[in-house]
């Protein structure tokens, strides 16, 4: 199943501006401002870093509104290593988060783990988090380069409850490139959308990375938007 798609997210004027950059004086030279995507994703899977995050947000539950604050420590690449996943050799990229979330001043602990499994050739194999065990259903190899305003669906996973193995829904991972602070620096977003079998509201986790022309991504922020029967919540995690 081929999933590769391109979506124009910006106006034609912005696309023309970001597509090509004119440098120098006199005759000048034209530089392609597309960014390396496949290498950037591989670097995300292999990088290790620690970040202290501030948390803010809001939500509503059964007609009542609440605010969210807090702080957490995010560890990228916590225990990266080769392992076996469903009988295949895979690279394990583990991201952990620990901290405290305050909902209207009542504190709750944060303790999450997300494991992503990728084959040496870049094929996504699976994702495991606190609740779900997800196996890849279909994927499309990422292109070498990506331009401003483009997005690519990378993989679709079938998910089941980690304990009961009861099917819980589907996880879709998409990468999108947006404008950054300059024409030589872009915002690469990894968008993980979990569609639950239990209700029609998705949970969307968007992680933003600064992406340079060299293909070296750096974590910027993350947001979580979830909906369900009688509630909605938006959480923002930033440096």
Domain boundaries defined on the chain: 12-18+32-73+133-238
For the chain, what's the residue count?
239
* CA nearest to 231, candidates 65, 50, 57: 65
Which tokens sit at 115? 């494991």
> How far is Cα 42 from Cα 188, in angstroms, rounded to an integer?
13
Question: How far from 156 is each of 72, 105, 152, 191, CA to CA, in Å?
Answer: 29, 37, 12, 12
pLDDT, tens only, 173-189: 999 999 887 777 899 99
Q: Which residues of the chain have pLDDT under 50?
A: 1-31
Task: Report pLDDT for 32.
Answer: 55
Quote the pLDDT of residue 230: 86
Is the pTM higher than 0.75? The answer reads yes
Distance, in Å, from the CA atom of 78 to the CA atom of 89, rounded to the nearest integer, reads 19
């Amino acid at each position: 199943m081929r999933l590769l798609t391109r979506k124009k997210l910006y106006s034609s004027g912005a696309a023309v501006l970001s597509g090509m950059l004119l440098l120098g004086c006199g005759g000048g030279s034209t530089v392609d401002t597309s960014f390396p995507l496949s290498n950037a994703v591989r670097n995300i899977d292999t990088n290790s870093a620690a970040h202290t995050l501030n948390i803010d947000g809001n939500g509503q539950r059964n007609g009542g509104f609440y605010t969210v604050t807090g702080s957490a420590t995010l560890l990228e690449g916590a225990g990266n290593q080769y392992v076996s996943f469903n009988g295949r050799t895979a690279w394990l990229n583990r991201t952990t988060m620990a901290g405290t979330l305050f909902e209207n001043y009542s504190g709750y602990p944060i303790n999450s783990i997300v494991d992503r499994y990728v084959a040496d050739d870049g094929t996504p194999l699976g994702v495991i988090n606190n609740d779900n065990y997800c196996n890849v259903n279909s994927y499309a190899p990422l292109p070498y380069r990506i331009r401003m305003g483009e997005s690519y669906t990378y993989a679709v996973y079938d998910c089941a409850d980690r304990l009961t193995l009861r099917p819980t829904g589907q996880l879709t991972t998409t990468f999108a490139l947006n404008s950054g602070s300059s024409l030589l620096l872009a915002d690469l977003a990894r968008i993980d959308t979990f569609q639950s079998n239990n209700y029609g509201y998705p949970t969307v986790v968007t992680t933003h990375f600064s992406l340079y022309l060299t293909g070296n991504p750096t974590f910027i922020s993350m947001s979580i938007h979830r909906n369900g029967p009688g509630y909605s919540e938006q959480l923002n995690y930033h440096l």
